[in-house]
Structure 1
Amino acid sequence: MENKTNEHTSSDQHKEYEHDHEHGGVFGPNTELIFSVLSGVLLGIGFILSFIGGTPEWVSLVFYIGAYFFGGYYTAKEAIGTVAKGGFEIDFLMLLAAIGAAILGEWAEGALLLFLFSLGHALEHFALNKARKSIAALTDMAPKTAIVRKGDQQKEIPVEELQLGDIVIVKPNSTISADGVVIKGKSSVNQAPITGESIPVDKYPIENASIDFQDKMPPSENRVFSGTINGSNVLEIKVIKESKDSTLARLIKLVNETEAQKSPTQLFTDKFEKYFVPSVLGLVVLLLFAFLVIDETFSESFYRAMAVLVAASPCALAISTPSAVLSGVARAARAGVLVKGGSPLEDLGELTAVAFDKTGTLTEGKPKLTEVVPYQNVKSEELLTATLAVEKLSDHPLAAAIVTGATKRLGENSVEEASALEAITGRGVKAKWKGEEIYIGNRGLFEEDLSVSIPKELTSALEKLESNGNTAMIVRKGNTFLGIIGVMDTPRKNAKDIITNLKNIGIKRMIMLTGDNQRVADNVAKEIGITDAWGGLLPEDKVNAIEKLRQQENKVAMVGDGVNDAPAMTKSTVGIAMGAAGSDVALETADIALMADNLEDLPFAIALSRKSKGIIKQNLWVSLGVTAFLIPATVFNFAGIGLAVLIHEGSTLIVVFNALRLLAYRTR
C-alpha cells in the first residue's frame, strides 16, 4: 500500500544485511551444526590433554587450532561478506575477539568463544527454521501434476501446463490442482490450507459453466482453490486461473515477502545497531590503551578489550524482533490470516478503532426476503405466489432474493409464470398474470407514475419496514392491493458476538461505513452493537471518514472487501480484507487478509498481534538488559571472555525460543 511501504525494504535488500544462516556444506544443510560440534569436541580434547602431564603444549594447540577452524569457519565467512559490503556486524566483532585471544595466547578461551558462538548460531538457525517451515508448508501443498480431460481421454500433465478453460479431474481425497469452478460432481472440500476454515465446505456444480470468470469470481459454493483437499467424491473443475496466478501461488509469494517488511521495533533496533556497533569499536580502541593510564600490562588491557567486544555484540538484539515477527506471521498464516510483515503485525495490536464496510462485511452481502405483509383479507400465499410469478422473469438482484425466499416459503408448489414483464426504472416492474396486470414497486411507482393513492394501513406498514432497514415493495394485482414484501441484506449470524468480543479486548470505537441511507445504517448498527453508523457515503466519502477517524483516534483499521474499499484501506493504519481467497485486489490492497470470509478471525488476529508485541518487548528487555550488564562487567574485569560468551549466547537462545512460543498461540 502506498502510504505503508515507504519504510519497507525489498526482499533482496533485507537478505543483504540480515543473517540468512542457510549454511549448507559438505555435510548437507546441517553442516554448520556439525562444524560447531566438531569445534566443541576438539576444544574438549585439547583442554583435557593440557592437564595430562608430559603432553607437549603444541599437541593441545593443534586441537585448539582445529576448534578455531570449525568454530570460526562460518563466522569468518559472514564477517568477510559483511565487511565487503561496508558493514560491521556481530560476526566481525566475535572474530576480532577470537583473534585477539589467540594473539594473547589464550587459545582455549578463543576456541570456547567460537564454539559457543557457532553453536548459538546453529541452534538459532534450527529454531527459526521451525517458524519458516510453518510458512514453507504452503509451498509443499502445491500439487505438481493435474489430470486433464481431453474429450474422452484423461491425461496427467504438470500444473504449469494447465491452460484457462481446461477441465481437471480431481479424485477423492486428493489435492485440487488449480483454481477453478466445479462443473460436475458434489463434494466437501477441506479449505484449511488456504482459508484456515476448520470444517470442510460443500461444493456444487455451477449452473452456467460457459461464463468467463476472468473479471467476475464465481460464488464460493462453486469455486475451489489449488492446494485444497477434495472429499469423498470425484469433481470436474474448469480452470479459471493459471498456476502462476492461483490463490496459493500468490499467497506463497506474499508470505515470502513478509520478512522484507520491517516492523517499527525492528527499524528501531536496526538504527540502534547502526550507531551502537561503531561506538563499541571506539570503546574497544580506548580500552586497548588503558595500560597507559592504569597499572596493568598491555596483555591485560587487550584481554579486557576483547571481553568487551564479546559482551557488547548485539546478537540477541538483532534476532529478538525478526524471530517474533516471523513466528507471529507463521501462526497467523496457519489460521488463514495473511499478515504482510512486521509493521501491520505490530500496528494491529495498537488499534483503538475499527471501521467496517457494511455490505458483505458486517452483513451477508446477499439480500434476503425478510418480510411478507398481506393487506386486509389477502392471504400470505396469494401475495407470495403473485410476486414469485413476476419476479421469476426479472434478472434484478433483489428479484433473485425474492424468488429464493418465496420458493422456500411456498414449497414445491408449481406457480403459473407471468408474461410481458416490463421494468420501470427506479420504480419497480409490471407484468401480466392470470389476465390481470401485476405491479411491484416503491411508493413512487403508485403515487407518481400510476397516480394511485396508497391506503393508510399500507403506508404505515411501509414506513415501519423501511425504518427497520428493509427495502419494501408494494404489490398490486389489477385494482387490488395484495400487500408488501420486504427485502434486506441481513447481518451476519455471528456479527453481534464478534463486535462484543472486539469491545471486550479493548477496541473503543467500531464504525460502520455504508452507502445505504442513515436509517438503514442506524438499524443495522443497533442490531449488532456498532458504536457509530455513518450512512449515505460514496467511496470518496469513506476515504474522508477514515482521515477524520485518524485525527480522532490513535490507530484505525478499515475492514472491507478490498475492491471498492481499497481507497479507504490505503488511508487507514491497517487495511484488512475480508474473504481474500480468490480476490486478487484484496490480496494486493490489504495489509492483512482474512482468507476465509470469516469475521471471527479478526479478534484472533488482534489478540495474536498483542501477544506478538508483548513478546517483542520481552525480547528487547532481555537483549538490552544483558548488554547493559555485560559491558560494565567486562570493563571492570568482573567477567572474562568465557563468562561473557556464555551469558551472551544464552540470551540469544532465550529470545529465539521465547518468540517461538507464538507458533503455539491459542485464544482462550
Structure 2
Amino acid sequence: MVQRIRRWVLEERRLEFPLVGVTLAALLGGLLSRFLAPSLAGVFWAIAYFAGGFYGVIDGAVALRNRRLDVNLLMLLSALGAAFIDHAEEGATLLFLFSLSNALQTMALERTRQAIRELLDLRPAMARRLREGREEQIPVEEIRVGDRLLVRPGERIPADGQVVAGFSAIDESMLTGESIPVPKGPGDPVFEGTLNGYGALEIEVTCPASDTMLTRIIRLVEEAQAQRARTQQAIDRFEQRYAWAVLGGAALTLLLSGLFGEPFDRSFYRAMTLLVVASPCALVISTPAAFLSAIAAGARRGLLFKGGMALEALARVRVVAMDKTGTLTENRVAVQAIHALDGTGPDQVLGLAAAVEARSEHPIARAILEEARARGLSLPEIREVEARPGLGVIGRRNGDRIWVGSPRLFQQEGIALPPEVHAHLKAAEQAGRTALLVYDGRWRGVIEVADRVRPEAVEAVRALRRLGVEVAMLTGDHPAVARAVAGTVGIARFEAGLLPEEKLERIRALAREIGPVAMVGDGVNDAPALAAASVGIAMGRMGSDVAIESADVVLLQDDLRRVAEAIALARAAMRTVWQNLAFASGVIALLVLLTFGVGLPLPLAVVGHEGSTLVVVLNGLRLLRWKGMPATDSASPAEGSFPQVPSGGSAIRLPGQPADRSHPGR
C-alpha cells in the first residue's frame, strides 16, 4: 500500500494539478486576506509555498543528493528570497506559475508516451485455445509455443504465429503504419495485437510472449525514449555550469549593487529576479520536447528510432547505402519472361516446365509453379522424375524425356545449344536473370526468372534524392545482377561481389568521401555494415534478428519509402530543436536585459520565463502531428522487375508485380 501511494505521488505525479489548484487558491486567499484579515495572510502564504514548492523540493533534493544544481533549486531560492524581503505574494506567484508550468510540461510530454500505451492496449486479455477438438478460453499469459489458437473475425491476434487454416485480411496498421489490410492464408505469419478481418483463422503460436513483435516494439520505444541524444547530453552538462553561473551572477549583482549604494531590498529583489529570468528551463526542455515527440510520431508510422542519438545522426546523413537482396528486392524469385521457340506457345512452355518441376522445393521451381497456377494451366502428368542437383530436372512423359534446367545440364547430357538459345542466354545474363531451358527433343523455350525488385524502390530512391541524399547499392551478388537492379531503380553508384567485411570498408569509404552514411539491410551479413554506419536501418518484418539488433532505426513495414520518411522526420526534429534553443536563448537574453535595464518585476519575470518554457514544449509537440512526406508519383520502369531485354520470336513480357494469387478465391 505504501509503495503504491509512493508511486502514485512521486513517480506518476498524480498530485501535480491538485497542488497547482491549492497554490492558486492560497495565493488568492493571501491577496484577499491582506485587505480583509491581515493576520491570516501568513497562513495562506505558507500553504501556497508548501503546495507550489512540493515537487520542486523533491526534485531539488534528488539533484543535491546527486551533487547537482538544477532549475528547481534556483526557483525555490528566488521564492524564499522574495519572502525574506517581505514580498511573499510575489514568491507565491512565482511558485504557482512554476508549478503550473511543470504540470503542463508533464501533461504535454506524457502525450509522447501515448504511443506505448496505444501499443499496450492492442494486447487482448484472453485467447481461444484449441485442444483435442475443443475450444477453451485462457488468459494470454498461459499461451505457449506450439498452441493452436482460434481467432474469430473482428478479434485481435493474441500471439505471434503462423496461419494453419482459414483465410482473412489482417489490419496491421498499428504495427507497420500500412493502412490496407494484409491478406493471410495457411503458412502466412500473423502478429500479436493486429486485428483480424472477415474470416476465422486457426494459428499455431511460434513465439513466446516475451519475444513477440509487439513486445519488441514496446521495448525498443521505451529504450529510445529513455536514451539521451548528444545535444541533450551537452545541454545537461551545460546546465550544471550555467546554474552555478546564474547563482554566482545573482550574488555578484547583490554585492555590486550594494557597493554602488543601492538599498538592500532593491538589490536583493533584482538578484532574485535574475535567478528566475536566467534559469535555463526552456533550454533544458528544448531537446527532449522535440525528440520524444518525434520518436512517438515515428512509432505510430512504423518507424522505430532507438533513441535521440539515432534521430540526431539520421538528420545529418548525406548518403544511404542499400543492400540488394531483401532490401531493394523482395528476396522472392519470380518468372520475368518466357521465350517460346519452334512454334510452341508460351503457356505450353510454362506448363511443361511446371509439370517436370512439380515435386521440387527449389525456389526457381516454386516460382514456375506459382506462375502456372496463376495462369490456371492444367499440367501434364510426368513420371520418373530425375533431379540433377545444381543443374535441373529430367522427367518422362509417354516414354519421351523432357529436360528443364540450366545450360550446364545440356552440356553434361551432350545436347548442343542452337544459336537462338545462345542469344536468349546472353540477353538474360545482361539483364541479370537466370535462364531455364525447356527441351523434349525439340527446343521448346527459355524461361527467365529473377528476384523481384520492390515496386516502391524507384520512388524510394527518388524521394532520397529530393532530400539531397545520395544512394549507393552494396551487394555480394554477381555484377550483372547488381547492374540490372541498379539500372532498374536508378542507382548510379553500386558495387557487387562484396563480402560482409568488404561492405563495412565501403561504408567507411563512403563516409570519408561524402559524409555520414545510413546503411539499409535485412540479413545477418548486413549486421557489421549496419553497426559501422553512422545510422543502421533494418527492414523489420523480413529482417534477421541480428540485423534488427545492430540497427539504430527499424522499419516495421518493409517499404523502402520509409527510409526517406525517417530522414525527413529526423531533420524536422533537429530543426525544431534549433528553433527551441534559439528562442529560449533569445528570451533569456531579453529578460536579463530588462531586469537590469528597467527593473523587471518578479511576477512579469516569472510569466516571461514560464511562458517561454511552454512555447518550447508546444513547439516540440507539433511533431506528434507529423504526417510524413508529401505523396509523389510512383511510376517506375518495369514495375518492379528487372529491365526487359528486347528479343525476337514469340517472347512475352510478364508484369514484375502480379496480383497476389496465393489465396484462391480471394
TM-score under structure 1 length normalisation? 0.89
Pick from 430, 435, 449: which aligns with 2:399? Answer: 435
Q: Which amino acid aligns with 1:249?
A: T
Alpha carbons 2:322, 2:521 under 8 Å: kept: yes
For residues 275 and 93 of structure 1, the distance between their equivalents in structure 2, rounded to whole angstroms, comes to 13
Pick from 377, 380, 391: which aligns with 2:357? Answer: 391
Q: Which amino acid aligns with 1:473?
A: L
Matched, 1:520 2:481: yes
Structure 2 equivalent of residue 279 of structure 1: 245
Alpha carbons 1:586, 1:593 under 8 Å: kept: no
Structure 1 equivalent of residue 413 of structure 2: 450
Pick from 186, 196, 217: which aligns with 1:205? Answer: 186
Structure 1 equivalent of residue 53 of structure 2: 72
RMSD over aligned CA atoms reads: 2.1
| SS across alignment from 1:440 | strand
Q: Which runs of 5+ in 1 are unaligned?
A: 1-21, 207-221
Structure 1 equivalent of residue 654 of structure 2: none
1:268-667 matches, cutoff 5 A = 268-409=234-375, 411-425=376-390, 427-447=391-411, 449-478=412-441, 480-507=442-469, 509-580=470-541, 584-636=545-597, 638-666=599-627, 667=629
Instruction: Please give the per-residue CA displacement for 1:290-338, whole angstroms capped at 9, x wherever unaligned.
Output: 2442111222222222111111211111111101111101111111111
1:126-165 matches, cutoff 5 A = 126-165=107-146
Alpha carbons 2:526, 2:547 under 8 Å: kept: no
For residues 424 and 133 of structure 1, the distance between their equivalents in structure 2, rounded to whole angstroms, comes to 54
Report the CA distance shift for 1:623/1:169 in structure 2 as closer, same or farther (over 3 A). Answer: same
Shift of 1:247: 1.0
Structure 2 equivalent of residue 17 of structure 1: none
Report the CA distance shift for 1:583/1:555 in structure 2 as closer, same or farther (over 3 A). Answer: same
| SS across alignment from 1:564 | helix
Pick from 2, 8, 16: which aligns with 1:32? Answer: 16
Instruction: Please give the per-residue CA displacement for 1:457-504, whole angstroms capped at 9, x wherever unaligned.
Output: 2111210121112111222224x3323111111212222122112212
Report the CA distance shift for 1:24/1:489 in structure 2 as closer, same or farther (over 3 A). Answer: same
Shift of 1:89: 0.5
Q: Which amino acid aligns with 1:640?
A: P
| SS across alignment from 1:256 | helix
Count residues with an aligned counterpart. Answer: 624
For residues 517 and 27 of structure 1, the distance between their equivalents in structure 2, rounded to whole angstroms, comes to 57
Alpha carbons 2:523, 2:543 under 8 Å: kept: no
| SS across alignment from 2:252 | helix
Report the CA distance shift for 1:327/1:646 in structure 2 as closer, same or farther (over 3 A). Answer: same
Pick from 27, 40, 54: which aligns with 1:43? Answer: 27
Pick from 183, 201, 204: which aligns with 1:238? Answer: 204
Q: Which amino acid aligns with 1:232?
A: Y
Shift of 1:446: 3.0
For residues 306 and 403 of structure 1, the distance between their equivalents in structure 2, rounded to whole angstroms, comes to 81
Q: Which amino acid aligns with 1:293?
A: L
Alpha carbons 1:304, 1:637 under 8 Å: kept: no
Structure 2 equivalent of residue 93 of structure 1: 74
Q: Which runs of 5+ in 2 are unaligned?
A: 1-5, 631-666
Matched, 1:108 2:92: no
Shift of 1:451: 4.0
Q: Which amino acid aligns with 1:463?
A: K
Alpha carbons 1:578, 1:594 under 8 Å: kept: yes
Report the CA distance shift for 1:203/1:317 in structure 2 as closer, same or farther (over 3 A). Answer: same
| SS across alignment from 1:331 | helix
Alpha carbons 1:562, 1:589 under 8 Å: kept: no
Structure 2 equivalent of residue 83 of structure 1: 64
Report the CA distance shift for 1:436/1:324 in structure 2 as closer, same or farther (over 3 A). Answer: same
For residues 475 and 272 of structure 1, the distance between their equivalents in structure 2, rounded to whole angstroms, comes to 73
For residues 60 and 637 of structure 1, the distance between their equivalents in structure 2, rounded to whole angstroms, comes to 30
For residues 24 and 624 of structure 1, the distance between their equivalents in structure 2, rounded to whole angstroms, comes to 35
Instruction: Please give the per-residue CA displacement for 1:621-664, whole angstroms capped at 9, x wherever unaligned.
Output: 11111222223432455313222111110011001111111111
Alpha carbons 1:316, 1:652 under 8 Å: kept: yes
For residues 504 and 341 of structure 1, the distance between their equivalents in structure 2, rounded to whole angstroms, comes to 26
Identity of aligned residues (%): 41
1:171-190 matches, cutoff 5 A = 171-190=152-171
1:186-197 matches, cutoff 5 A = 186-197=167-178
Instruction: Please give the per-residue CA displacement for 1:9-49, whole angstroms capped at 9, x wherever unaligned.
Output: xxxxxxxxxxxxx9844999542112112211221222233
TM-score under structure 2 length normalisation? 0.90
For residues 79 and 274 of structure 1, the distance between their equivalents in structure 2, rounded to whole angstroms, comes to 13
Pick which of 256-265 and 41-50 moved more: 41-50
For residues 235 and 365 of structure 1, the distance between their equivalents in structure 2, rounded to whole angstroms, comes to 27
Alpha carbons 1:471, 1:486 under 8 Å: kept: yes
Shift of 1:558: 0.9
For residues 542 and 419 of structure 1, the distance between their equivalents in structure 2, rounded to whole angstroms, comes to 45
1:1-12 matches, cutoff 5 A = none
Instruction: Please give the per-residue CA displacement for 1:148-170, whole angstroms capped at 9, x wherever unaligned.
Output: 11213322222121111111121
Q: Which amino acid aligns with 1:472?
A: A
Shift of 1:417: 2.0
Q: Which amino acid aligns with 1:415?
A: P
Report the CA distance shift for 1:259/1:186 in structure 2 as closer, same or farther (over 3 A). Answer: same
Q: Which amino acid aligns with 1:413?
A: S
For residues 77 and 577 of structure 1, the distance between their equivalents in structure 2, rounded to whole angstroms, comes to 42
Report the CA distance shift for 1:28/1:614 in structure 2 as closer, same or farther (over 3 A). Answer: closer
Alpha carbons 2:105, 2:614 under 8 Å: kept: yes
Q: Which amino acid aligns with 2:264?
A: F
Shift of 1:56: 5.0
Q: Which amino acid aligns with 1:465?
A: A
| SS across alignment from 1:565 | helix
